[in-house]
Structure 1
């Protein structure tokens, strides 16, 4: 049994964005690589190969797509789901497995895989509490807190679902009713898994970090209620010692190195 981390990549619009995506993915893959259990697989799917991140993490599986990339923000979510579907088809022969949709700029707790496989419940787990990280300032604050909702209502990197062979999509149709498809909306994750008689358990620790203000976060950039006052809220609610907390999710030195890269210099808040 293993945990599969499915990581779709946004297609960059220019060279500067390509490098930002590559650097942020490097940080996310570092988060995965720090897991206390090695029983996992990380699969990245995208249009443009992230050379730096994959060079640092050569065991990550890269799946390249060739279809026409989206050109507007309205198409970004459908593109993300399409890439997750490519990953699902690649790993479904390994089922049963635990599947986690992980955004390419978020971070996960280093004991995530260990807990999931040790406490295996043939249903899955979800992140109820986590952190929000302001990429530009380095401040980190709790969720709930920055938002009043639980983490899984705010961030897509929040569900770890047990999938058997029959739970994967059987075709390409928009009306697919597989458990995989039902769990692609993180805001309806618990409702849909409960209706499918899979009762997910909350992780007993702050399971993930939602990284914002980095220039590539799709929902943060296009959904007003997520963006509104979030940087100010993180500043107000920031924990006093961010480095020890961040160490549970990724390499703090690498984080500071990456966020000081010139490609992030001109980002707005």
Structure 2
């Protein structure tokens, strides 16, 4: 294990990068045992998912399968202090939605008619989740999550082990292209491309009472509606402190056929590691098992 830690980062394989994650988190646990007085902020985490409508998906079965993998990656977390809220038009028929930590939030506004309206639809659903949390008087960490990305099984453990921060930004993450069967590491500014890349701490009064624009704009919750590509700038403008997460604890999944960025023409299914100036590796069952997205 020590040899892995000494190897230059540019030469590490995906497996070795993930081993470094385990080493780092295990060391944090040991430090906590030695220094139990260390300040922490053990807030619960809400994962907020806006699910696209069946009417605008290319393959609804594929959308449901992708969501199931996302949920499985979270439900197998080492730290179970979380909840998942999914806002959508049609409720998927997947067993993961029956888990007690998952809440389905139906919406009654019309679904979008074209890919150009997908982002607006996503934010409307996110606002519905915000209103729900205001009514529930929730105070804690809030993470917008795309319905196809995967969360590391120790992500919740990591965030809750850290001293309180008003926000966390995921700087480094894994990328997967299912069509090319390729996986690689994005080492810098992961949050520019991936929508599952920021965690905010909100008190219950930071959430809006309604989804009306003026109500939302007056609340700190508005930060969760800002473009993730420059979320660091938005946090600074709001005078909110944030911590950059250097561990690859999120996987951005592409190439499954229903990526919003692909349907909007921003990316294509041929995207690969070379587009990010790095080398990729073959996507194998080992990676699926590591992120625990295999069936429950």
Aligned position for 2:233: 191
2:203 to 164, 171, 181: 164
Greater displacement, 58-67 / 17-26: 58-67
TM-score, normalised relative to structure 1: 0.83
Q: Give me the whole-angstrom Cα distance separating, in 2, the residues matched to 1:241 and 1:8.
A: 27
Shift of 1:74: 1.5
Q: Is the 8 A contact 2:87 2:129 kept in 1?
A: yes
Q: How many residues align?
A: 249
Q: Give me the whole-angstrom Cα distance separating, in 2, the residues matched to 1:27 and 1:11.
A: 18
1:112 to 143, 155, 170: 155
Q: Is the 8 A contact 1:24 1:105 kept in 2?
A: yes
1:52 to 76, 94, 97: 94
Shift of 1:171: 4.2
Shift of 1:12: 1.4
Secondary structure of 2:59's aligned partner: helix
Matched, 1:95 2:133: no
Q: 5+ residue gaps in structure 1?
A: 256-269
Secondary structure of 1:105's aligned partner: coil
Please identify the structure whose Cα radius of gyration is greater: 2
Aligned position for 1:127: 170
Shift of 1:103: 0.5
Matched, 1:32 2:47: no
Q: 5+ residue gaps in structure 2?
A: 1-42
Secondary structure of 1:172's aligned partner: coil
Q: Give me the whole-angstrom Cα distance separating, in 1, the residues matched to 2:211 and 2:241.
A: 27
Q: What is the RMSD computed on CA atoms of the aligned residues? A: 2.6
Distance 1:241 1:173, change over 3 A: closer
> CA offsets per residue over residues 81-122 of structure 1, 9 Å max, x none?
011111111123343210000000011111111111111414
Q: Give me the whole-angstrom Cα distance separating, in 1, the residues matched to 2:166 and 2:252.
A: 24
